[in-house]
Amino acid sequence: MLLYSLILTKSIKTKLLSFIIDYLIKRGNAKPKKVEILSNTINSICARTLNNTQLDMIINTMAKEKIIIIDGNKITYTLKR
């Protein structure tokens, strides 16, 4: 969490999460269904500039804010349009 906090300011984190959510909403039913695929998708959106720790923190933040629900390796989305 510290690395994620140091590298990404609150404003950047908010904008990044908003961008990721918008992207996922636009994908409709084609959203990633597994944690690993979501991680790869987020990294792809960010031009492969994030490391595993940063990706884990983004996914954990999404889960904490109830944007996604993680059940084992599977993901359920609670995105609102």
For the chain, the distance separating the N- and C-terminal CA atoms, rounded to the nearest angstrom, is: 29
Express each pLDDT in 9-22 by its tens digit: 677 778 889 999 99
Q: According to the model, what pLDDT value does residue 8 have?
A: 59
Q: According to the model, what pLDDT value does residue 1 have?
A: 41
The answer, yes or no, to whether residue 3 has pLDDT greater than 50, is no
H or E element at residue 26: helix 10-26
Q: Which residue has the higher pLDDT, 80 or 34?
A: 34
Q: Which residue has the higher pLDDT, 6 or 63?
A: 63
Domain boundaries, the chain: 33-81
Express each pLDDT in 30-79 by its tens digit: 999 999 999 999 999 988 888 998 899 899 999 999 999 999 999 999 98
Q: How crowded is residue 20: how many other Cβ atoms within 10 Å of its Cβ?
A: 19
The answer to whether residues 59 and 38 touch, using CB atoms and an 8 Å cutoff, is: yes
Phi, psi of 41 (to 5 degrees): -65, -45
